[in-house]
Structure 1
Amino acid sequence: MTIGDHLQALYRLPAHTFPGPDGRTDDLPDPDAFAWRVISDVYDADEDWTKAFARFCATVDTTRVRALIVGAWQEAYEEDCTEVIEALVAARDRFPALRALFLGDMVMEECEISWINQTDVTPLLAAFPKLEEFGVRGGSGLRFPAVRHDALRRLVIETGGLPAEVVRGVGGSDLPALEHLDLWLGTPGYGGDSEAADLEPILSGARLPRLRHLALRNSEMQDAVAAAVAAAPVVARLEVLDLSMGVLTDEGAAALLGGQPLTHLKKLDLHHHYLSEQFQERVRRTLETAGVEVDLDRDDAEEDSDGDGTVWRYVAIGE
């Protein structure tokens, strides 16, 4: 599967796309009422992203903007977002109210998730110390060296393959206010070379004292992730545990149910899975009877097999 829809909202604000160079700008909505999406065209752009952003800054009262979505930039399949980040950092003093930023809101027609070229995105966290939500899509070239950020409450990294050094960078970061962490680990074929051991700093919870929602999903190694989560100290303080969108089988479910109790959770999300009916019933019986909301929707999880009996299973978001 691929991503077919742009973000509809950010920071609990509906998304609104800033008009292109030929669009009307005389009837724009209130700057603080929407999450503003600034875009270019990936192919044959008439205006590159930095020029679109300059028009945005000249047209909208940026002192009132609370959420900003960076959409497509020109040739994102070949060019990383260095110029985008530089433009945002240079304009930081013009956005005193900015609390949410998403980088790389592209759908498959613009650029497949595993083709989006990223870079070191942490200069944005340094430039906006009051940022509460930060998200990024695309793992190619992505870097996230360990940082400290005192205000960040929500961090989302969506990839078809998350590099191990990024997982370790997030795990090594000091994020005392973080409540929601969502990592799409992906597959080795698209650069997802992390192992369950790389998650240990996250699963210990030592640098994440306020974490309540943990999502480790879209992973080909979902059984190993589930086994690591089963004994993870951070789980005791979670309200939501999300191991969805990956290749979770009965082996991983058995490890999860055989580990520490999960009955304190408000929700366990396992949608897009490869569990047998027997194990689905075990999960429901163990957790739903304790009042935990459980998502066991199979979605489009399908298996393929070849003549020698090899079974192929797929994560939800790959290409």
Structure 2
Amino acid sequence: MTHLGIQHLDRFHGLPVHTPSSGATPPAADSVAWRLECAYDEDVDFPALWEQFLETVDTTRVRALLIGPWWRQDYTPFAPVMELIVAHADRFPALRGLFLADVVGEECEVSWLRMCDVTPVLEALPLLEEFAVRGCGQEGLGLRPLRHAALTSLRFESGGLPGSLVRSVAASELPALERLDLWFGSSWYGGDATVEDIRPLLSGGVFPRLRHLGLQNSEIQDEIAVAVGSAPVVAQLETLALSMGTLSDAGGEALVNGQPLSHLATLDLRHHYLTEPVLDRVRAACAPAVVEAGEAEDDYADPDDEDDEPERYVAVSE
């Protein structure tokens, strides 16, 4: 199974990512994106780490913040961490980028990330421009409809995205939003979003400034491709991502036979199950747009079970 996108960022919100270490001289507060993580070999829990950060860094100048692993040994829910961020939001007047649960596989599987309703963070930080969250729906990942005038980029990287969250995104007033990425994931991990949940997003009237849309990592990638084929929002996009899911020839044909995609700069289809002839037709239909695809994934079947039906998987779930 290909794992696309689950990696530590070198840069976030246009800044190099910096993880502070004990005894090191910190850089200028506004020159880096700060990544806070609990180290297994240090006897400091996240509340203590947070207090150290507030005491040693001029948080009034911090522009970007990433929260990495917030536990040392026993995995704990995210809600107490979020409460700390909300309680001290006034200490971060310059904060414009926030990534919650910047955690990769060797630290914790995405399906284990016990997230919560993240609405209070957005409400506490009305000037935030970029917001990203990683986690799964089965442990409480949620969002309530809200208005946020400054947000330009919203990203949910999930191994199981709740349909309720997708509906809340569509019901929110985000007049500045330019980039939206939704990873749907697997039903095994709380992913129950449907095409009906995304139809308001596809209408084109919800986010007038939207230029990038990612509907990715889905078990219903073919159904999404069919819906995208006639979606009004596509006309306003510059980039479209339908990658990381189970896109097959049925979805590829829908893209070929749907509305023109040649105005796009890129169409991302990486991690797909398209045959080469259909992929060639997609490329031809989308030209001069660049179609990013790479090698097709292989269907999986148990070699020791003659009756085992081949299966297809999203790129990121566990």
TM-score normalised per structure 1: 0.93
- Structure 2 residue runs without a partner (length 5+): none
Aligned to 1:14: 16
1:162-202 Cα offsets, whole Å, 9 max, x none, are: 01111111111111100000110011111111111111111
| Contact 2:147/2:172 (8 A) holds in 1 | yes
- Please tell me the root mean square deviation across aligned C-alpha atoms, in Å: 1.7
In structure 1, distance between residues paired with 2:8 and 2:298: 25
In structure 2, distance between residues paired with 1:121 and 1:44: 29
In structure 1, distance between residues paired with 2:72 and 2:245: 29
Of 288, 299, 304 in structure 2, the residue corresponding to residue 303 of structure 1 is 299
Aligned to 1:222: 221
Query: Equivalent residues in 2 for 1:1-319 (5 A)?
Result: 1=1, 2=3, 5-19=7-21, 23-25=22-24, 27-41=25-39, 46-74=43-71, 78-139=75-136, 140-288=139-287, 291-298=288-295, 301-306=297-302, 307-308=306-307, 310-319=309-318
Q: Which amino acid aligns with 1:265?
A: L
In structure 2, distance between residues paired with 1:77 and 1:250: 44
| Contact 1:156/1:181 (8 A) holds in 2 | yes
**Secondary structure class of the residue paired with 2:214:** strand
In structure 2, distance between residues paired with 1:268 and 1:247: 16
Percent identity, aligned pairs only, is 50
In structure 1, distance between residues paired with 2:74 and 2:264: 40
**Secondary structure class of the residue paired with 2:44:** coil
**Secondary structure class of the residue paired with 1:189:** helix
**Secondary structure class of the residue paired with 2:188:** helix
Q: Which amino acid aligns with 2:112?
A: W
CA shift in 2, pair 1:75/1:232, >3 Å? farther
| Contact 1:76/1:116 (8 A) holds in 2 | no
Give the Å deviation of 1:78. 4.9
CA shift in 2, pair 1:107/1:138, >3 Å? same
In structure 2, distance between residues paired with 1:50 and 1:227: 47
In structure 2, distance between residues paired with 1:227 and 1:153: 27
TM-score normalised per structure 2: 0.93
Deviates more, 1:256-265 or 1:53-62: 256-265
| Contact 1:155/1:178 (8 A) holds in 2 | yes
Q: Which amino acid aligns with 1:233?
A: P
Q: Which amino acid aligns with 1:46?
A: D
In structure 2, distance between residues paired with 1:285 and 1:128: 44
